Structure 1
């Protein structure tokens, strides 16, 4: 968790949640660094300890990584879940074969949408939808703290939900 605390401090500084422009800001950063303590929530999600929160106030974080990227989310008000993933089916695997292997994790609507796109020859769009679905499911499961214990099939990705601000998804396709 040492690396986690370093990443969180960097994010807080870059987002001006913690100033480093003066001696007081630097001193505060070092004080915060030394005070960071973690504990695991009910389902194992790493969180700041109650002692830390009592001293520093509410602060939520979540981390995801997929080589070579690391994504850190920090929020002073809300629990959050983040996920980062490569949009790439394993080598020598057809998208529908891959989807079939993961099928128990996807809703019928998601499977139908992805299958239809593949059948129309829109392979890249189908791949992007599949990995977006997966990333959304991962982020929600992390936000709730349930993680892999969550029934992913119960989370059905719907682009209209994003438009209605039910949750926010930031998607970078590289």
Structure 2
């Protein structure tokens, strides 16, 4: 059996303890990341979500604000994330094409700094999806959140990639 080399973990010191990575020598660049999730529910609940008639009110407006707030709180929630000056956070919703009972949640985060914003985008989309779930659970106790992932990133040493682009879908340098 051959021994496989694995890259060293940047958040773990030689003695095995965790630490926050020193990014002070990295170049400043404009960095963006987009993440997505899907909330699966029943068709009639999706219709209420989209037209703002849920018993708890306009779930999408509440979820959008929750996602934006969550992106700003990422370093408080994920222990080794650097606090970043976020330039822009967007959270958007759309019915999933070809699925009569699913809502796509997408968040894009932008900064000008020395480290990426993938975690902020994932946090935004996750909290937005959780908020949608919270707003619909009274009418659908079986709703599901799934497919949470980073869709794209740009900036920094590892460059740009987008899973929605077939030419770069195999990129693993996030």
**Which structure would you say has the larger RCO, counting Cα contacts within 8 Å and 6 or more residues apart?**
2
TM-score, normalised relative to structure 2: 0.25
